[in-house]
Structure 1
Amino acid sequence: MLSIVTSRLIYKTPPRAVLLVNKHRTKLVVDAIDTLLTYLRQKYPDVRVFHEDRPDIPPGVEVWRPGPDAEKIDLIVTLGGDGTILHASSLFKLGAVPPVLSFSMGTLGFLLPFHIDDYAKALDSTLTSRATVLHRMRVSCRFHGSDGERLEGQAQDWQVMNEIALHRGSSPHLNTIDIYVDGQRLTEAVSDGLIVSTPTGSTAYSLSAGGPIVHPSLSALVLTPICPRSLSFRPLVFPSSSSIKLRVSDRSRASAGLALDGQTSHVLGPGEAVTVQASEYPIPCINRSSIADPEEIQDGEGVGPGKEDDWVRDINNLLQYNATFRSKALLRHSRT
């Protein structure tokens, strides 16, 4: 079974290549990019900065294109929201992902530990191997035709960070999908669709569909039905060693649209299938708590820098976990 744990980020040689991934270039994003580039050029002049080949590529950076011959990247820096990190993951969907340092640009998210104002401390701690990373599990997906052979054009496994989803799309009919776990038939699902998520993805689409919240350090697969016909069809959690096969039944009245981390891939017809299992290539995400200064320790209850669980903080701050209606109202009142 894969071990998904927090560990110290150690560069055996000084980092030499940083990939910048950002959302749409608003003025706020443009200013943040200029600030980051100025800081990197002044303090780390030997570090090369790359960017995707897009029309809005910042001036003075090098073009980077994904693929087997791509320049080796030592660190990914994202500017945006959770979707920006998912996009960064998709750039490395066929192999290992470099460490990811993510900055929030005014949005909240489970994958955004750093505010852009903390750029100097975050970059220094990361580039000098003083940060820790959480290895967030990804899943790999293989696609098969009705004859069991790989579908044309899908010969390689895709790596997904949040979830894969089979859904009925615009069809008025429910999907009928056969579910197999480690080769054993589990059930026939009649529903709007099915989600297989990682622990990281358990707070995304799966949560909205009624799935459980799973700590990202766990190694597990979450199977969540979307509006099932049977009220006894509840979400299930499997060990990461499991292999889950979703096959569109020959009796299904609707094809199944396939979405990988929210991006439409293709449509599976009756007899076609996708097999999902844990990927060998998790995403190493840099933790905020690991770079806190000693003076940030507060007296009384709590834990010190490097030991705080970012996830526990986030489910309280972002989800307002177990907050009553009354306490939410008081919270809003206290902010005015």
Structure 2
Amino acid sequence: MSSQQRTPVGHETLPFRNIGLIGRLGSAGVVETLKRLMRFLDERGLHVIVEDRTATVLLDHGHPEASRRMLGELCDLVIVVGGDGSLLGAARTLCHSGTLVLGVNRGRLGFLTDISPDELEERVGEVLEGHYEVEKRFLLDAELFRDDTLVGSGDALNEVVLHPGKAVRMIEFELFLDGQFVYTQRSDGLIIATPTGSTAYSLSGGGPIMHPRLDVLTLVPMFPHTLSSRPIVVDAASEIRIHIGETNQTYPHISCDGQTRAVAKPDDVLVIRRKPQTVHLVHPVGHNFYEVLRSKLGWSHRLGD
């Protein structure tokens, strides 16, 4: 079974008791939605725990606080209010506990945060009553080695990117999949994207859109020197090894979900593998991936609609 399986859940599910809240900082709209959400959950007699960083923008909220990692240990469900970036950050921590994660969209596109503020009480209420689906999404682990010594690491739900940082120089590197040599490439870098990340940075780089249930990765060259370099799709269980060329005049950066995690030197080796843990995303019943694509990407509707 794919590591991104979808599981329908019905009324027989034990009710949620402890609900964690995480919100994007610096947004008045997020604060307003969080306050609405707390009132709604309080009225239902649920135990609400607020992430400690989120609590800094919720003065006198009257609920216990905990770190993001502790929310995963204490809560049955964590609700993230913000954009996809907010959910990505929460997912990287909460995957370790297997806690269910539900997103309320207060960002732009909202591929992962699929409840709008206008339907907050209705949709969250349905989830609390057991009407929801769970989708497991896998993540990536990235490790940078220098002379066989680990010098940097990170994890990602969307993508791991090798890029030149602020320098305007091409990177030369060798790519190996499961120990087999694939190619030597000169380009601005390489995007290694999960199906979840196929609608993010990879899409901007010309990568394919992949259904979330696929158990694959896509490798997308960034402005390659040769026109024959094209994105390739590989098994998600593959070990990806990138050997930074010894003659590079720049120090490539390794970013995970848009955050720089390490800076490589010539002759370093970047190793990327599928993470053992998965994140458990909650969707309202009837969630449709293709409907989301039509809505977010402006695709045409059916003839006659």
TM-score by length of 1: 0.81
8 Å CA contact 1:287–1:310 kept in 2: the answer is: no
8 Å CA contact 1:250–1:271 kept in 2: the answer is: yes
With 29-38 and 204-213 compared, the bigger mean Cα shift is at 29-38
The Cα of 1:69 is off from its aligned counterpart by 10
1:256 aligns with 2:252: yes
8 Å CA contact 1:76–1:99 kept in 2: the answer is: yes
Name the CA distance, whole Å, in 1 between partners of 2:224 and 2:15: 52
Task: Show CA shifts across 1:236-285 (max 9, x none).
Answer: 00011211112212122221111110111120111222211222222222
1:178 aligns with 2:166: no
SS in 1 for 2:123: helix
Q: What is residue 149 of structure 2 aligned with on the other side?
A: 149
8 Å CA contact 1:51–1:61 kept in 2: the answer is: no
Q: What is residue 280 of structure 2 aligned with on the other side?
A: 284
1:115 aligns with 2:122: no
The Cα of 1:65 is off from its aligned counterpart by 1.7
8 Å CA contact 1:167–1:193 kept in 2: the answer is: yes
**Distance verdict in 2 for CA 1:53–1:31, change over 3 Å:** closer
The Cα of 1:225 is off from its aligned counterpart by 0.6
Q: What is residue 216 of structure 1 aligned with on the other side?
A: 212
The Cα of 1:48 is off from its aligned counterpart by 3.1
Q: Specify every segment of 5 or more residues in structure 1 that has no aligned partner in the other structure, as ranges.
A: 291-305, 332-336
Task: Show CA shifts across 1:187-245 (max 9, x none).
Answer: 11211111100001011111111111111111111100110101101000001121111
Task: Show CA shifts across 1:103-137 (max 9, x none).
Answer: 12263321122112322233233233321112122
1:56 aligns with 2:52: no
Q: What is residue 190 of structure 1 aligned with on the other side?
A: 186
What is the percent sequence identity of the aligned residues?
Answer: 27
Q: What is residue 269 of structure 1 aligned with on the other side?
A: 265
With 188-197 and 72-81 compared, the bigger mean Cα shift is at 72-81
Name the CA distance, whole Å, in 2 between partners of 1:190 and 1:138: 27
Paired residues, what number?
300
Code of the residue aligned with 2:92 in structure 1: it is S
With 118-127 and 193-202 compared, the bigger mean Cα shift is at 118-127
Q: Over aligned residues, Cα RMSD in angstroms?
A: 2.6
8 Å CA contact 2:175–2:181 kept in 1: the answer is: yes
Name the CA distance, whole Å, in 1 between partners of 2:176 and 2:52: 39
1:161 aligns with 2:157: yes
With 31-40 and 196-205 compared, the bigger mean Cα shift is at 31-40
1:316 aligns with 2:298: no
8 Å CA contact 1:64–1:71 kept in 2: the answer is: no
Higher strand proportion, which one?
2
8 Å CA contact 1:251–1:270 kept in 2: the answer is: yes
**Distance verdict in 2 for CA 1:43–1:260, change over 3 Å:** same
Q: What is residue 134 of structure 1 aligned with on the other side?
A: 135
**Distance verdict in 2 for CA 1:175–1:315, change over 3 Å:** same
Name the CA distance, whole Å, in 2 between partners of 1:52 and 1:9: 30
The Cα of 1:12 is off from its aligned counterpart by 6.5
The Cα of 1:68 is off from its aligned counterpart by 7.7
Q: What is residue 6 of structure 1 aligned with on the other side?
A: 6
SS in 2 for 1:44: coil
The Cα of 1:81 is off from its aligned counterpart by 1.2
Name the CA distance, whole Å, in 1 between partners of 2:254 and 2:139: 17
